[in-house]
A and B are shown apart, each in its own frame.
Chain A
């Protein structure tokens, strides 16, 4: 666990704490050379193919996959929180329609946070009771924020759908097809945990002050909103949308490569090889785009990816997860400004797991700054 830095050691690291080992964890690991992402010992490829998002959240939060009974309880617990406080929905009425859906969602979360049960309890037991509510409220609030873009009212919850299907149902106002649900659920699974990226680190700093788990999640989503982070999938999609067809993509990429342009959705601080999340998601994206008559979009993506990777791959720059998720979210009918939201719903699982892992022994995180004035 991260709180496990009990002894002092000596380390070398760069700006942004690059290379610093902040602690130990048993939640997961990323192998940036081999392109592996592993949750609690399971490769994401296998989880995306065979597990539900609920199973993966249970795994990340508790350490093992649930048995049938545990899974049933967990489903039930998550579904029981599908009615966030009314005040959070009312808050939408005080927000301009054209505000970014992530900012609307943030506002709904901050208002919902005024009405959480056991608000002042920060003992470990109270913190451990929070993830199901946080996951569930987040899904319902986020879908209302997305609908607010087009002035559409929130969709009342149902109890008979799993997490992924229920989010799409509330966001789109229709039950997704099996193909849509699978693709979307896989995207949640591969994005559910990713080590101490900036957002998880922000969440960890907040939980280390003794704040409640929801406050830690809010800090995480703040970091995720940045264009260098969760906001990147929207940017990557917007680039792709500006390209007419594969030929245009190749020509444009060549021009931009010559200018030394930094392509949104390419390159990663940890992966210096193809991103395993991209490999998992590509078949889903291709099938979904083809089934909606959007082959051209798929082939344009491939042309762009190949062109960029051929040129920059030798320098360790490959398509990352932000370049592919939009290719699933667009054919589902989500607007581009909403693309960061599913990432946020998924990855908060990892933040919560890291926070709960840190809590029992963790000290307040307070590094220093050297004065150079």
Chain B
């Protein structure tokens, strides 16, 4: 049995293997608890560097498409066997053909309903079409979950179009997940830099440890529920203001700022009155998040290309001012800050940001669910009872 000082700040969260049971620190919100061992991704808490299956994200973002990175995360195959990758890509792309009833369900709902709720309903009804009551899933599970990645992308496209009042999305199997999504958002063939940006965003969002949607899905998978229950449950954890809602708030705050002078004043004002600047602060990172470096650069390029240089200038002003005021408290800009602005430049409005990011996160979620299923063990912690001592109902009863 190993003893881990997980909250000491020196514990590396990297080991050759874990000997269960383990002894570790247990903090509020289960911080420090080791809920699984994984080979999916590695986030070095001292340097903040992140790698997927031992490949640093710097060698993936902007270089590999999201489809390739999803393949890497889900299969663990670093050598990219061409046949396997082609089969994977074809499965992923073809799963975007949604049954008409599913599209009609989304279309029948008010377009102003929050996209996270529409997506959850879409995934649920899709599950009813994919799996009839008595279907045996053994052996098929792997592909089933993979299909969900493509299906979520297709549902998000449809929701975006419904929201914009556009007609149904005609998806083209030759186009990648990112290309298709951009066609749905922009109603025109996307520019290469737009495709590169969306692939990059999804790649950087693809996995980040046991965040709430992923961990919820793992708990649900541990009961051997079908994949649609996992995903509906994971999506239920998506929008809490502490999580997916952050990107929405970034756009609400930043898009209102007229110029960089105003932006600087606004940050000072917010910090003085103890307000929260969306897109800052992270539970894990008390140092700059390496994903931000990549996205900041992309934001500069894309904003210029789209004639929105002022938006980048304002964002930089907010980031620099806030960093100067908050970095000493360990509060740094996080991935949601530039990511939300990039999604905005790609045609997504604020409420679409959480569902846009979750398309990428689906890859890591599926990879971790597969891992949880390799050695399934029901998640069932205990709680200590500190309530009323044993008592009896009043004589005469309530009835």
Contacts and interface: CB of A to CB of B under 8 A. Distances in A.
Interface in A194-242: 195-199, 201-202, 205-206, 208-211, 215-216, 218-219, 221-229, 231
B28 interface: yes
Given A50-B397, A225-B225, A370 B38 contact: yes
B383 A21 contact: yes
A111 B3 CA distance: 46
Interface in A1-60: 2-6, 8-29, 38, 40-43, 46-47, 50-52, 55
Given A106-B229, A368-B33, A94 B385 contact: no
B385 A114 contact: no
A328 B33 CA distance: 41
Give the top 5 A-B pairs by smallest Cβ distance, nearest first: A226-B223, A26-B387, A209-B240, A363-B29, A210-B240
Contact of B129 (A19, A87, A95, A364): A95
Contacts of A223: 219-220, 222-223, 225, 229, 233
Interface stretch (A97-105, A169-177, A305-313): A97-105
Nearest to A12: B23
B233 A19 contact: no
Given A198-B222, A372-B18, A216 B53 contact: no
B233 A90 contact: no
Interface in B193-250: 209-212, 215-216, 219-220, 222-226, 228-230, 232-234, 236-243, 245
Interface string B1-37: 1011011000001111110111111111111111111
Q: Size class of A's contact patch?
A: 35 or more
Interface in B320-356: none
A333 interface: no
A16 B383 contact: no
B220 A226 contact: yes
Contacts of B239: 211, 215
A314 interface: no
A169 to B, nearest CB: 20
Given A8-B32, A201-B379, A337 B133 contact: yes
Interface string B378-399: 1111111111111111000111
Most buried by B among A27, A47, A206: A206
A55 B37 CA distance: 43
Contact of A225 (B30, B229, B381, B398): B229
B20 to A, nearest CB: 5
B33 A17 contact: yes
B21 A26 contact: no
A55 B388 contact: no
A37 B37 CA distance: 33
Contact of A368 (B34, B120, B381): B34
Interface of A: 2-6, 8-29, 38, 40-43, 46-47, 50-52, 55, 63, 65-66, 71, 87, 90-91, 94-96, 98-101, 103-104, 106-107, 109-111, 113-115, 119-120, 122, 195-199, 201-202, 205-206, 208-211, 215-216, 218-219, 221-229, 231, 269-270, 337, 362-373
B120 A218 contact: yes
B22 A13 contact: yes
B57 to A, nearest CB: 14
B258 interface: no
Given A224-B223, A362-B29, A215 B237 contact: yes
Contacts of A221: 229
B87 interface: no
B168 to A, nearest CB: 15
B172 interface: no
Given A95-B125, A205-B219, A218-B233, 19 more contacts: A8-B26, A15-B375, A16-B379, A18-B381, A22-B382, A46-B392, A96-B128, A99-B129, A103-B127, A110-B125, A110-B232, A111-B105, A111-B109, A119-B114, A219-B232, A222-B232, A269-B378, A270-B380, A364-B240
24 contacts: A2-B383, A3-B28, A10-B3, A12-B1, A20-B33, A21-B382, A24-B385, A98-B134, A99-B133, A100-B133, A103-B128, A106-B232, A113-B121, A196-B380, A198-B220, A198-B379, A205-B219, A209-B240, A211-B236, A223-B229, A364-B212, A364-B240, A365-B30, A370-B34
A57 to B, nearest CB: 13
Contacts of B220: 198, 202, 219, 222-223, 226
A310 B242 CA distance: 51
B124 interface: yes
Contacts of A18: 21, 377, 380-381
Contacts of A107: 121, 124-125, 127-128
Contacts of B131: 99-100, 103
Contact of A10 (B14, B24, B124, B238): B24
B251 to A, nearest CB: 16
Contact of B225 (A10, A11, A222): A222
B42 A371 contact: yes
B16 A372 contact: yes
B118 interface: yes
B35 A368 contact: yes
Contacts of A196: 380-383
Given A15-B375, A371-B13, A114 B212 contact: no
Contacts of A28: 385, 387
Nearest to B389: A41
B41 interface: yes
A20 B382 contact: yes
B54 interface: yes
B40 interface: yes
Interface string B108-126: 1110011001101101110
Contacts of A20: 26, 33, 381-382
B47 interface: no
Contacts of B390: 38, 41, 43
A340 B133 CA distance: 13
A92 B29 CA distance: 38
B283 interface: yes
B130 to A, nearest CB: 9
A39 B124 CA distance: 33
Contacts of A5: 26-30
